[in-house]
């Protein structure tokens, strides 16, 4: 079955200190699965990565994991994915993930998550793709990053239009719906409480 949409989710390979991070990752996966979507992610089963993948599968969604050989043991490759692509390099991983995605969403995570977020945002502003990019600012996790980015604008290294290329919200369901609709997919997606 062809998925209604495909969301690439970047997130931590650790659960983080706040239990709300895992709960939100579960909600993201559940939303994707229950709305006929497909998750594209880094292919690990640890941390938030594993939570979002398991929740998508449990809700009936497809999961495409992409993981480099060097990380198969470190991130514990999720062998339950609908498709698991084991690749040679990080560059190949990110290219494949971007190709499968209709939209990109960053949940809380560390430097890997940040690097992936900044890369797809950079590609977007350079015109290499026109897919929406979202940042879930759960419990203010990205407040300081957003403040720094505002400083980049006032310091003349960025423009407001670059900031406008990212969708920022603190509600996962609202942000997912916005991203999917911005991608031109499933325009009549319903909120879970309306089903």
Task: Say what the pTM is.
Answer: 0.93
In the prediction, which pLDDT does 1 show? 74
Handedness of CA 17, 138, 52, 128 (dihedral sign): negative
pLDDT in tens, 14-33: 999 999 999 999 999 999 99
Distance spanning both ends of the chain, measured CA to CA? 21
What dihedral angle (degrees, nearest 10) is formed by the CA atoms of 86, 89, 94, 96?
Answer: -50
CB neighbour list of residue 72: distance below 8 Å, 6 or more residues apart: 86
In the prediction, which pLDDT does 189 show? 47
pLDDT in tens, 72-98: 877 689 999 999 999 999 999 999 999
pLDDT in tens, 123-155: 999 999 999 999 999 999 999 999 999 999 999
In the prediction, which pLDDT does 79 show? 93
In the prediction, which pLDDT does 34 show? 95
Q: Which residues of 77-86 are buried (b: 16+ CB within 10 A; e: fewer)?
A: bbeebeebbe
| Alpha helix stretches (DSSP H) within the chain | 19-34, 47-58, 90-100, 111-126, 143-154, 160-163, 172-182
CB neighbour list of residue 129: distance below 8 Å, 6 or more residues apart: 98, 120, 123
């Amino acid at each position: 079955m062809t998925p209604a949409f495909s969301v690439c989710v970047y997130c931590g390979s650790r659960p983080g200190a706040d239990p709300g991070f895992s709960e939100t990752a579960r909600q993201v996966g559940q939303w994707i699965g229950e709305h006929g979507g497909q998750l594209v992610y880094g292919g690990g089963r640890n941390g938030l990565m594993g939570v979002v993948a398991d929740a998508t599968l449990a809700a009936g969604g497809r999961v495409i994991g992409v993981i480099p050989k060097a990380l198969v043991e470190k991130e514990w490759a999720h062998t339950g994915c609908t498709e698991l692509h084991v690749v040679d390099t990080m560059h190949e991983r990110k290219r494949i993930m971007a190709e499968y995605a209709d939209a990109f969403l960053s949940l809380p995570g560390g430097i890997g998550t940040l690097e992936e977020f900044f890369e797809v945002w950079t590609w977007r502003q350079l015109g290499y793709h026109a897919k929406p990019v979202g940042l879930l600012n759960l419990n203010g996790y990205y407040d300081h990053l957003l403040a720094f980015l505002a400083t980049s604008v006032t310091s003349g290294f960025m423009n407001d239009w670059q900031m406008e290329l990212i969708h920022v919200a603190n509600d996962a369901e609202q942000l997912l719906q916005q991203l999917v609709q911005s991608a031109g997919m499933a325009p009549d997606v319903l909120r879970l409480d309306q089903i």
